[in-house]
Amino acid sequence: MPDGAGAQNEATNLSRGALRSTIPWARRATNVVRGLRFRLTVSYVLFFSVLLVGIGLLFRQTLRSQLDDDVRVTLEEEWGAAKAYLRIENKRPIWVADSSDPEEAYIVERLRRVYLLTDSTGYLLEHSETYDSLGIDPPQEIQRIVKSGKTELHERRDKSGIPYLIKAGEVPSTDGEPYFFALGRSLEANERTVDTFMGRYFLLLPALIALTCFLGWILAGRAVRPVNQVAQAAEGVTGSNLSLRIPKRGADDELDHLIDSFNQMTERLSHSFEQIRRFSTDVSHELRTPLTAIRGQLEVALFTAQTTEQFRDAMVNALEDVEKLSSIVRALLLLSQAESGQLALQKTSLDLGAIAEDVVDQFQIPAEEKGVELSVTTLPGTSAFADKTQVERLFSNLVSNAVKYTPRGGTIQVRVGPDSAHQSWARVEVADTGVGIPAENLSQIFDRFYRVRNAETNLIQGLGLGLSFVAWIVSAHGGSINVESKPGEGSRFIVHLPSAPPASVTPSPEPATVTV
């Protein structure tokens, strides 16, 4: 039936629509329930509910024992009065009271409201009607109390459930026989007072809990508001907007601490992003130069070279640039291998002086070409327990930098010898009279891809990887490196390396770190 089907479709659509509109609500409700504000309120309400119930029960207990104490005191007084007004002669109780004195008559009448008198065997002599309802004590119990010669206090309920405080014990008589006497006082008024108090308190409790809920929700909202503000501000931080800082609230509390940590994190991220960006620029620049040269050489070979000689020259030049390209790629690969722990060190005892002399020899020609005087001083027998390839790399990076950053007419001195204060350590020094490093850049020169950018260094090419590698080599050998530098005067790099395996070496003169 088309009509029926239409109605059914409509109903389905309606219910789908209703479902769609309830889903955001359901989601919102779930979000509220999962939210910190809700959870804080629940904890707050639970805590206060338990506290209020606890306080109520404590009050109840205190009130009851205070009221019972009052009754106990009155009972003690009545016990003393009863002994004064009660005389027993030949198993016959006589209540001595001046009948003309209404006060005395009233006292005796009150004493006789709840009482029991038996002989020492438990034989009943006299008792009040109320005591009957409390239950006469069994003879064995009476005999035990009389024999003990002491009085006892206990609580007992009558048939209708009313509680009584009973004091029982032995009383003397004129015939010298011991008798059992029990005197009681109702605790009904106390119980009623306590019940009334508790009834009102627990009636008020839901209202108090509701008030706690309300206050808890408001307070939790206020506590959570700054967190939401921080979250909102954090949402504004993106890869291209890392300079954004969340302002502190000035409360110097945990939240300000969180904001501080967050700001520091974005600063570190921003620093890393900047390093990566600079690195991409540097790498593309470094790769572009030899690539353009190779292209030029190949074009020469293809279009203009006519003789075999010209053809050969172009090829040789192109090959040199290919070699340059490979060395850049190699350096990058090596550093990433080193930093990811894939580079195994083959440590042996090395003649450090010989290695220094070899490296200095390799750099003599470039130094001479630049008009820089390069010399080496070694103390014979200076050894290091280290990996030969890495130590060569360390020397060559430091010496190559010194040559690069020392202008014509400058000098470079490499000194190798044992550390004067710690004989188990070798000391290497590479000092130049070059451009120096500004103090504000010193702390970053060992960072990956970091290069000092100023008028002196801008024209000098490099990737900013050499010193990162040096720092890695030094720390992989448990050594240390220090830099002293003054712009315009020169730099001095001091490296300490262990001269024997770690077990036979005294602690490093400097911690295994890089310091400037």
Q: Which of 194, 183, 201, 158 is nearest to 66 (CA)?
A: 194
Determine how many CB atoms are found less than 10 A away from the CB of residue 27: 10
Helix axes 254-299, 188-235, angle to 10 degrees: 20
- Asked whether 128 and 162 are in contact (CB, 8 A), the reply is no
| CB distance 450 to 282 below 8 Å | no
Tokens 């005999």 belong to: 143
* Binder of ligand ADP out of 37, 167, 185, 451 (CB under 6 A): 451
Which region, judged by CB under 6 A, interacts with ligand ADP, from 22-30, 120-128, 165-173, 448-456?
448-456
Residue 452 near ligand ADP by CB under 6 A:
yes
| 159: its two tokens | 């048939």
Distance, CA of 146 to CA of 123 (rounded, Å): 13
Name the minimum Å distance from CB 439 to ligand ADP.
Answer: 12
Instruction: State whether residue 181 is helix, strand or coil.
Output: strand
The verdict on 237 binding ligand ADP (CB under 6 A) reads: no
Among residues 399, 426, 445, 473, the one that binds ligand ADP under rule CB under 6 A: 445
Residue 363 vs 405, nearer CB to ligand ADP: 405
6 by Cβ neighbours in 10 Å (0-12 / 13-18 / 19+) ranks as: exposed
**CB neighbours of 142 closer than 8 A, spacing ≥ 6?**
118, 120, 121, 122, 180
290 or 434, CB closer to ligand ADP?
Answer: 434
Q: How far is the CB of 408 from ligand ADP (least distance, A)?
A: 15
Nearer to ligand ADP, 360 or 445 (CB): 445
Q: In the complex with ligand ADP, which residue's Cβ is closer, 13 or 327?
A: 327
Q: How many helices (H) does the chain have, and how many strands (E)? A: 12, 15
Q: Is 432 helix (H, G, I), strand (E, B) or coil?
A: strand
Site for ligand ADP in 401-440 (CB under 6 A): 401-402, 405, 432, 434-437
Residue 309 CB: number of other CB atoms within 10 A? 9
Joined tokens for residue 423: 């004989």
Say how far apart CA 453 and CA 430 lie, in whole Å. 22
Confirm or reject binding of residue 463 to ligand ADP (CB under 6 A): yes
Comparing CB distances to ligand ADP, the nearer of 491 and 508 is 491
Q: With CB under 6 A as the contact rule, which of the stretches 89-97, 237-245, 265-273, 457-465 interacts with ligand ADP? A: 457-465
Residue closer to ligand ADP, measured from CB, 229 or 275? 275
**CB of 491 or CB of 499, closer to ligand ADP:** 491
**Least distance in angstroms from the C-beta of 478 to ligand ADP:** 21
Shortest distance, position 300 Cβ to ligand ADP, whole Å: 29
Query: Judged by CB under 6 A, which of 353, 410, 466, 479 binds ligand ADP?
Result: 466
**Residues between 94 and 123 with contacts to ligand ADP, criterion CB under 6 A:** none
Q: Which is nearer to ligand ADP, 168 or 463 (CB)?
A: 463
The three-state secondary structure class of 152 is: strand
**Shortest distance, CB of residue 445 to ligand ADP, whole angstroms?**
4
Minimum separation from the CB atom of position 287 to ligand ADP (A): 14
Binding mask 362-401 toward ligand ADP (x if CB under 6 A, else -) reads: ---------------------------------------x
Residue 117 or 452: the one with the smaller Cβ distance to ligand ADP is 452
CB 515 within 8 A of CB 482: yes
Number of residues lying near ligand ADP (CB under 6 A): 21
Of the residues 246, 414, 426, 467, which one makes contact with ligand ADP according to CB under 6 A:
467
Give the CA diameter of the chain. Answer: 160
Closest Cα to residue 509, out of 471, 469, 478? Answer: 478
Q: Toward ligand ADP, which CB reaches closer, 190 or 401? A: 401
**Nearest distance from C-beta of residue 450 to ligand ADP, angstroms:** 6
Radius of gyration of the chain (CA): 50
Residue nearest to ligand ADP (CB): 462
Pairing mode of beta strands 514-515, 480-486: parallel
Out of 212, 382, 413, 491, name the contact with ligand ADP by CB under 6 A.
491
3-class DSSP state of 118: strand
The answer to whether 388 and 348 are in contact (CB under 8 A) is yes
| Contact pick of 356, 465, 481, 494 for ligand ADP (by CB under 6 A) | 465
| Residue selected from 133, 362, 457, 513 as contacting ligand ADP according to rule CB under 6 A | 457
What's the Cα-to-Cα distance from 498 to each of 70, 343, 346, 430, 476, rounded to whole Å?
Answer: 87, 19, 14, 18, 11
The site for ligand ADP (CB under 6 A) is made up of 401-402, 405, 432, 434-437, 445, 450-452, 457, 462-468, 491
